[in-house]
Structure formats: structure tokens, C-alpha cells
């Protein structure tokens, strides 16, 4: 691959990545969105996180695993409760990672 092809590929990937983010920001920055749209948009980040986490929690090895050996799934419950009660991002992350590390250390 030539240097020009590589540079054009990187530039194209940057345009495709930042374009969908930049265009709405430029056009909607001064506009007031209707309340239902704002409420709906607030649900997007949790939905994306759920979509990213669900496969690794429910099927860590590629098949559905709801058994006691699925440590990530069972530790997700108290971690989600902590997140809901405290609304503290860093505490939730530290608790989730720390508890999983301790459980794996204890169980081998």
C-alpha cells in the first residue's frame, strides 16, 4: 500500500467517524430540541452500554450461561445496585473490577 493510499484511507476513516458526530452538533447547537426528543436521547447511552455488556454477561463463551460459574453475570447484580444507589461512576467501576478480581483470585 502506498503512502498516498494509506493517507487517503486514514482521512476517509476520520471523515466517516467524525462526520456523523460533527454535522448534528453544528446544526443543532443553537436549536432547542422538543422535550420528548431530549428524553428519548437520554436513553441512548444506557441502551448502548446494555447492548455492549449483554453478550459478555450472558454468553461469555459464546453460548448462554446463567450458571453459577458465570462470575461476571452474578457480580453484575450488586454492581448495578451500587451504581443505581450511588450514581458514582468511579466507585461502581472500582467495585465491579475489584470484586471480579477478588472472586477470580479466590476461586482460581
SS3 67: coil
Residue 28: the pLDDT is: 79
Dist CA 108 CA 102 (whole Å): 10
The pLDDT of residue 1 is: 79
R_g over Cα of the chain: 20
- Residue 63 is given by DSSP the state S
Q: Name the band, by pLDDT with cuts 50, 70 and 90, for residue 63.
A: very high
Q: In terms of pTM, does the model score above 0.85? A: no
Per-residue confidence band for 47, with pLDDT thresholds at 50, 70 and 90:
very high
Distance in angstroms between the alpha carbons of the first and the last residue of the chain: 46
Amino acid at each position: 500500500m502506498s503512502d498516498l493510499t494509506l493517507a487517503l484511507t486514514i482521512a476517509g476513516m476520520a471523515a466517516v467517524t467524525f462526520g456523523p458526530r460533527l454535522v448534528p452538533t453544528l446544526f443543532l447547537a443553537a436549536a432547542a430540541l422538543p422535550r420528548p426528543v431530549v428524553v428519548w436521547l437520554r436513553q441512548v447511552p444506557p441502551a448502548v452500554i446494555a447492548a455492549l455488556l449483554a453478550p459478555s454477561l450472558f454468553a461469555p463463551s459464546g453460548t448462554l450461561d446463567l450458571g453459577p460459574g458465570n462470575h461476571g453475570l452474578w457480580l453484575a447484580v450488586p454492581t448495578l445496585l451500587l451504581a443505581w444507589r450511588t450514581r458514582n461512576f468511579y466507585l461502581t467501576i472500582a467495585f465491579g473490577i475489584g470484586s471480579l478480581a477478588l472472586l477470580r483470585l479466590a476461586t482460581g
